[in-house]
Structure 1
Amino acid sequence: MMGVQLTLDKVIDRAAELFPDRELVTKRPDGSIHRYTYADAHDRICQLAHALDELEVDDDSRVGVVATNHYRHFELYFGPACTGRSFHMCNMRLPDHHFVHTIEDAGDEVIFVDPALVEKVEANADDLESVEQYVVLADEVPETDLEPVTDYESLLAGQPTEYEWPDIDEDTEYGMCHTSGTTGLPKGVTYSHRAMYLHSVMCGHVDANQVSESDVALPIVPMFHANGWGIPYAATFAGAKQVFPSVHTDPESIAHLIADEEVTVSAGVPTIWLEMAEYLDDNPEVDISNIDRLTVGGSAPPESLIRKYDEEYDAPIIQGWGMTETSPLCTLSTLRKEVKALSPEEQYEYRSKAGFPVPGVDIRVIDDDGNEVPHDDETMGELQVRGPWITDGYHNRPEENEQSFTDDGYLKTGDIAVRDEMGYVDLVDRDKDMIKSGGEWISSVQLENELMAHEGIAEATVIAVEHERWQERPLATIVPTPDADLTAEDLDGHLSETFPSWWLPDKYEFIDEIPKTSTGKFDKKRLRDQYDIVLEADDERDESEPAE
Structure 2
Amino acid sequence: MGAQLTLDKILERAVDLFPDRELVTKLPDGEMHRYTYGDAYERICQLAGALDELGLEEGARVGVVATNHYRHFELYFGPACSGRSIHMCNMRLPDHHFVHTIEDAGDEVLFVDPWLLEKVEANADELETVERYVVLCGEDELPETDLEPVTDYESLLEGHSTEYGWPDVDEDAEYGMCHTSGTTGLPKGVAYSHRAMYLHSIMCGHVDANGVSERDTVLPVVPMFHANGWGLPYAATFVGAKQVFPTVHTDPEPLARLIDEEEVTFSAAVPTIWLGMAEFLDENPEVDISNIDRLTVGGSAPPESLIRKYDEEYDAPIIQGWGMTETSPLGTLSTLRKEAAELPSDEQYEYRAKAGLPVPGMQTRIVDDDGEEVPADGETMGELQVRSPWVTDGYHDRPEENEAAFTEDGYLRTGDIATRDELGYVDVVDRNKDVIKSGGEWISSVQLENELMAHEAVAEATVVAVEHERWQERPMAVITTSAGADVTGTELEDHLAETFPDWWLPDVYEFVDEIPKTSTGKFDKKRLRERFDIVLEAEQGEEAEP
What TM-score do the two structures reach when normalised by structure 2? 0.84
Per the alignment, residue 245 of structure 2 pairs with 244
Question: 1: CA distance between counterparts of 2:166 and 2:108?
Answer: 21
Question: 2: CA distance between counterparts of 1:359 and 1:289?
Answer: 28
Q: Which amino acid aligns with 2:371?
A: G
1:139-171 deviations in Å (ceiling 9; x for gaps) = 022101111111000011111000000001100
The CA deviation at 1:433 is 3.1
- Please say if 1:222 is aligned against 2:241: no
Per the alignment, residue 103 of structure 2 pairs with 104
- The question of whether the paired residues in 2 share the 8 Å contact of 1:406 and 1:412 is answered with yes
- Please say if 1:513 is aligned against 2:540: yes
- Please say if 1:308 is aligned against 2:316: no
Q: Which amino acid aligns with 1:94?
A: L
Secondary structure at 1:346 match in 2: helix
The CA deviation at 1:475 is 4.8
Q: Which amino acid aligns with 1:513?
A: Q
Secondary structure at 2:385 match in 1: strand
Per the alignment, residue 277 of structure 1 pairs with 278
What TM-score do the two structures reach when normalised by structure 1? 0.83
The CA deviation at 1:461 is 3.7
Q: Which amino acid aligns with 2:9?
A: K
Question: 1: CA distance between counterparts of 2:60 and 2:388?
Answer: 26
- The question of whether the paired residues in 1 share the 8 Å contact of 2:20 and 2:37 is answered with yes
Question: 1: CA distance between counterparts of 2:399 and 2:336?
Answer: 39
Calculate the aligned-residue CA RMSD, in Å: 2.2
Q: Which amino acid aligns with 2:6?
A: T
Per the alignment, residue 180 of structure 1 pairs with 181
Per the alignment, residue 496 of structure 1 pairs with none
The alpha-carbon distance between structure 1 residues 450 and 55, as it changes in their structure 2 partners (threshold 3 A), is closer
Secondary structure at 1:376 match in 2: coil
The alpha-carbon distance between structure 1 residues 64 and 461, as it changes in their structure 2 partners (threshold 3 A), is closer
- The question of whether the paired residues in 1 share the 8 Å contact of 2:24 and 2:34 is answered with yes
Question: 2: CA distance between counterparts of 1:121 and 1:425?
Answer: 40
Q: Aligned runs of 1:12-31 on 2, under 5 Å?
A: 12-31=11-30
The CA deviation at 1:473 is 3.9
Q: Aligned runs of 1:88-487 on 2, under 5 Å?
A: 88-140=87-139, 141-433=142-434, 457-458=469-470, 460-461=472-473, 466-467=515-516, 471-475=524-528
1:194-214 deviations in Å (ceiling 9; x for gaps) = 000000000000111000000
The alpha-carbon distance between structure 1 residues 431 and 222, as it changes in their structure 2 partners (threshold 3 A), is closer
The CA deviation at 1:60 is 1.3
Question: 2: CA distance between counterparts of 1:351 and 1:459?
Answer: 21
The alpha-carbon distance between structure 1 residues 310 and 39, as it changes in their structure 2 partners (threshold 3 A), is same
The alpha-carbon distance between structure 1 residues 474 and 310, as it changes in their structure 2 partners (threshold 3 A), is farther
- The question of whether the paired residues in 2 share the 8 Å contact of 1:6 and 1:194 is answered with yes
Question: 2: CA distance between counterparts of 1:327 and 1:117?
Answer: 25
- The question of whether the paired residues in 1 share the 8 Å contact of 2:467 and 2:534 is answered with no
Secondary structure at 2:534 match in 1: strand
Secondary structure at 2:274 match in 1: helix
The CA deviation at 1:393 is 0.5
- The question of whether the paired residues in 1 share the 8 Å contact of 2:172 and 2:193 is answered with yes
Question: 1: CA distance between counterparts of 2:473 and 2:281?
Answer: 24
Aligned length: 475
Question: 1: CA distance between counterparts of 2:265 and 2:83?
Answer: 33
1:326-346 deviations in Å (ceiling 9; x for gaps) = 000010000111111111111
Secondary structure at 2:313 match in 1: helix
* 5+ long unaligned stretches in structure 2: 437-463, 479-514
- The question of whether the paired residues in 2 share the 8 Å contact of 1:61 and 1:86 is answered with yes
Q: Which amino acid aligns with 2:4?
A: Q
The CA deviation at 1:469 is 9.0
Per the alignment, residue 487 of structure 2 pairs with none
Secondary structure at 2:52 match in 1: helix
The alpha-carbon distance between structure 1 residues 403 and 517, as it changes in their structure 2 partners (threshold 3 A), is farther
Q: Which amino acid aligns with 2:319?
A: I
The alpha-carbon distance between structure 1 residues 96 and 451, as it changes in their structure 2 partners (threshold 3 A), is closer
Per the alignment, residue 503 of structure 2 pairs with none
The CA deviation at 1:510 is 3.8
The CA deviation at 1:432 is 4.0
- The question of whether the paired residues in 1 share the 8 Å contact of 2:467 and 2:535 is answered with no
Q: Which amino acid aligns with 1:216?
A: T
Question: 2: CA distance between counterparts of 1:295 and 1:5?
Answer: 30
- The question of whether the paired residues in 1 share the 8 Å contact of 2:106 and 2:129 is answered with yes
The CA deviation at 1:505 is 4.6
The alpha-carbon distance between structure 1 residues 449 and 374, as it changes in their structure 2 partners (threshold 3 A), is farther
The CA deviation at 1:451 is 7.3
Question: 2: CA distance between counterparts of 1:469 and 1:47?
Answer: 59
Per the alignment, residue 67 of structure 2 pairs with 68
Secondary structure at 1:396 match in 2: coil
1:413-469 deviations in Å (ceiling 9; x for gaps) = 01000000011000001244399xxxxxxxxxxxx99978xxxx4454488974379
The CA deviation at 1:58 is 1.4
Question: 2: CA distance between counterparts of 1:381 and 1:317?
Answer: 27
The alpha-carbon distance between structure 1 residues 397 and 29, as it changes in their structure 2 partners (threshold 3 A), is same
The alpha-carbon distance between structure 1 residues 468 and 399, as it changes in their structure 2 partners (threshold 3 A), is closer
| Runs of 4+ with deviation above 2 angstroms | 430-435, 448-452, 457-476, 504-518
The CA deviation at 1:51 is 0.4
Per the alignment, residue 32 of structure 1 pairs with 31
Secondary structure at 1:77 match in 2: helix
Question: 1: CA distance between counterparts of 2:38 and 2:434?
Answer: 47
